[in-house]
Amino acid sequence: MGLHLWAVGSDSRPAGISDFLAEASAEVDGPVPGYLSAPQNMTDTCLYIFTSGTTGLPKAARISHLKVLQCQGFYQLCGAHQEDVIYLALPLYHMSGSLLGIVGCLGIGATVVLKSKFSAGQFWEDCQQHGVTVFQYIGELCRYLVNQPPNKAERGHQVRLVVGSGLRPDTWERFVRRFGPLQVLETYGLTEGNVATFNYTGQQGAVGRASWLYRHVFPFSLIRYDVTTGEPIRDTQGHCVATSPGEPGLLVAPVSQQSPFLGYAGGPELARGKLLKDVFRPGDVFFNTGDLLVCDNQGFLRFHDRTGDTFRWKGENVATTEVAEALEALDFLQEVNVYGVTVPGHEGRAGMAALALRPPHSLDLVQLYAHVSENLPPYARPRFLRLQESLATTETFKQQKVRMAKEGFDPGALSDPLYVLDQAGGAYLPLTPARYRALLAGDLRI
């Protein structure tokens, strides 16, 4: 069969099988020859990083040598330098922790403080102890910090820059007001994506700016998207349509040698839906980020929602992030996760909000109803509420929407307190088994 065989152990070996340990010890402990270690091409696979699986099973994204080298310049782009001490509590099997955090630190020769598990209560003491000047976050980490009771260590710190992604405007404002002065650098990117944005100006709530120069170097577009069909809207020629300022659109980026899409380990079907063809002209190919963004009149880009999270109810599109931001303005709510659930006999998906209370507050349903009535249009008001001790997140601190939507709103299957919106009575009422049966029978209108 032409096989080379080695064995380990003191037993006598059959003819043709070599002693692995003896041969290994005889090898010179030098660098691996270039012909074995050097990639044939910059777009060759350097490593695999699994997606976080918020919308399905995790997939092994192919990461090229080119992307690793680009990540080496991440902290230089952020304005960090060799004297900085960077605090990193993100998982190292994820791109933010490994490529941006570790490789980015190697790129500028800075010091990195690794924390195996993030602790909001310990954070500022750690910063004082290690002289931390830069903190790399994922949005939920900043929320955990502003929800902590005040302590002495948060005032005398040296943190001058926080950089990351997913920071909501309400948390951003509270974070800077409480822990500042410091610079917030919000970024946007995907593990397998070929587009990234930086909010250099510090405009609260923005992930970047669509300036002419930036789009020339890192081209991308926002196109109209149909939430019902899950497909981009096309004109009579079959081409996609660019959005107007203020209109949510699907973020797409052209695939080229400079910004390739390498796909995933496994069959080509795993990348289905990630590539769009004939977007603006016949034969062109664009990467579909799966994210809806809005570009305002000044060119600032703001994250709107994941395409899989936005849902339709009463013929209208409901963005989960907008509803969550409205609810988070209530002082008795610490965390909110909004998602759509299917209701028998109704088209689309009805809004449901999982809520975690801010200690020592209790749930005020009267104030909550008054607040959503005043701040949200009728179609966007959550039809169901689920009260939880804490809200489930993935290992990369993203909220679990798909799992929550699957669990639904059946009081017989869930032990958490559930509430339903009573339109006629103008109130949120406990979702009892009797009301649940009335809802399924069509006797309780939502």
Write out pLDDT tens, residues 186-241: 999 988 899 999 998 899 999 999 988 888 888 999 999 998 788 999 999 999 99
| Domain count for the chain | 3
Instruction: Tell me the per-residue pLDDT of 406-427, one tens digit each, with 9 for 90 and over.
Output: 999 999 999 999 999 998 889 9
Is 281 inside a domain boundary? yes
Instruction: Tell me the per-residue pLDDT of 152-172, one tens digit each, with 9 for 90 and over.
Output: 999 889 999 999 998 988 889
pLDDT band at 52 (very low <50, low <70, confident <90, very high): low
Question: Which of these three, 281, 307, 333, is where a domain ends?
Answer: 307
- R_g of the chain, CA atoms, integer Å: 25
Quick one: pLDDT at residue 13?
83
Residue with tokens 């107007």: 244
CA distance 90 to 83: 21
Cis before 360? omega within 30: yes
Say what angle helices 169-179 and 139-146 make with each other, to 10 degrees: 50
Q: Which of 332, 306, 333 is nearest to 400 (CA)?
A: 306
**Beta carbons of 264 and 239 less than 8 angstroms apart:** no
Residue with tokens 């192919």: 62
Q: Are residues 74 and 164 located together in one domain of the fold?
A: yes
Q: Which of 72, 42, 47 is nearest to 62 (CA)?
A: 47
Instruction: Tell me the per-residue pLDDT of 64-78, one tens digit each, with 9 for 90 and over.
Output: 999 999 999 999 999
Mark out the alpha helices in 308-412 (DSSP H runs). 320-328, 365-375, 401-407
Is 34 inside a domain boundary? no
Q: What are phi and psi of 319, to 5 degrees?
A: -90, 120
Q: Are residues 48 and 141 located together in one domain of the fold?
A: yes
Is 220 inside a domain boundary? yes
Range 352-361 average pLDDT: 95
Is 1 inside a domain boundary? no
Query: β-pairing, 161-165 with 183-189?
Result: parallel
Q: Are residues 339 and 427 located together in one domain of the fold?
A: yes
Is 16 inside a domain boundary? no
Quick one: pLDDT at residue 308?
82
| Residue 159, domain CATH | 3.40.50.12780
Q: Which of 321, 396, 392 is nearest to 351 (CA)?
A: 321
Q: Are residues 155 and 61 located together in one domain of the fold?
A: yes
Lowest mean pLDDT among 141-145, 175-179, 212-216, 288-292: 212-216
Q: Are residues 342 and 220 located together in one domain of the fold?
A: no
Instruction: Tell me the per-residue pLDDT of 89-114, one tens digit each, with 9 for 90 and over.
Output: 998 988 999 999 999 999 999 999 99
Say what angle helices 365-375 and 320-328 make with each other, to 10 degrees: 130
Question: Which of these three, 307, 330, 358, is where a domain ends?
Answer: 307
Instruction: Tell me the per-residue pLDDT of 252-264, one tens digit each, with 9 for 90 and over.
Output: 999 998 889 999 9
Q: Are residues 430 and 330 located together in one domain of the fold?
A: yes
Containing 177, the helix (H) or strand (E) segment is: helix 169-179
Quick one: pLDDT at residue 420?
97
Containing 317, the helix (H) or strand (E) segment is: strand 316-318
Angle made by CA atoms 423, 361, 358, in degrees to the nearest 5:
95
SS3 292: strand
Q: Are residues 347 and 266 located together in one domain of the fold?
A: no
Strand partners, 231: 226
Mark out the alpha helices in 100-168 (DSSP H runs). 104-108, 123-130, 139-146
| Residue 408, domain CATH | 3.30.300.30
Residue with tokens 């017989």: 412
pTM above 0.85, yes or no: no
- Residue with the bigger pLDDT between 13 and 98: it is 98
Q: Are residues 217 and 99 located together in one domain of the fold?
A: no
Question: Which of these three, 307, 326, 361, is where a domain ends?
Answer: 307
CA distance 364 to 12: 77
Classify residue 15 as exposed, middle or buried by CB count within 10 Å of its CB (0-12, 13-18, 19+). exposed
pLDDT band at 63 (very low <50, low <70, confident <90, very high): very high
**Beta carbons of 88 and 74 less than 8 angstroms apart:** no
* pLDDT at residue 10 greater than cutoff 80: no
Q: Are residues 315 and 418 located together in one domain of the fold?
A: yes
Q: What is the DSSP letter of 57?
A: S
* pLDDT at residue 87 greater than cutoff 70: yes
Q: Are residues 155 and 280 located together in one domain of the fold?
A: no
Mean confidence (pLDDT) of the chain: 92
**Contacts for 149 with CB less than 8 Å, ≥ 6 apart:** none
| Residue 287, domain CATH | 2.30.38.10
In which domain, by residue range, is 299 found? 205-307
Quick one: pLDDT at residue 213?
87
* pLDDT at residue 38 greater than cutoff 60: yes
Q: Which of 325, 326, 336 is nearest to 399 (CA)?
A: 336
Quick one: pLDDT at residue 56?
62
Q: Are residues 137 and 216 located together in one domain of the fold?
A: no
CA of residue 281 relative to chain centroid, distance: 31
Is 9 inside a domain boundary? no
Range 236-250 average pLDDT: 96
CA of residue 391 relative to chain centroid, distance: 16
Question: What single string gives the DSSP state of each residue in 113-127?
Answer: EE-SS--TTTHHHHH
Is 27 inside a domain boundary? no
Is 26 inside a domain boundary? no
Q: Are residues 314 and 247 located together in one domain of the fold?
A: no
Containing 35, the helix (H) or strand (E) segment is: helix 34-37
Residue with tokens 């490789």: 103
Containing 375, the helix (H) or strand (E) segment is: helix 365-375
CA of residue 223 relative to chain centroid, distance: 21
**Contacts for 214 with CB less than 8 Å, ≥ 6 apart:** 197, 208
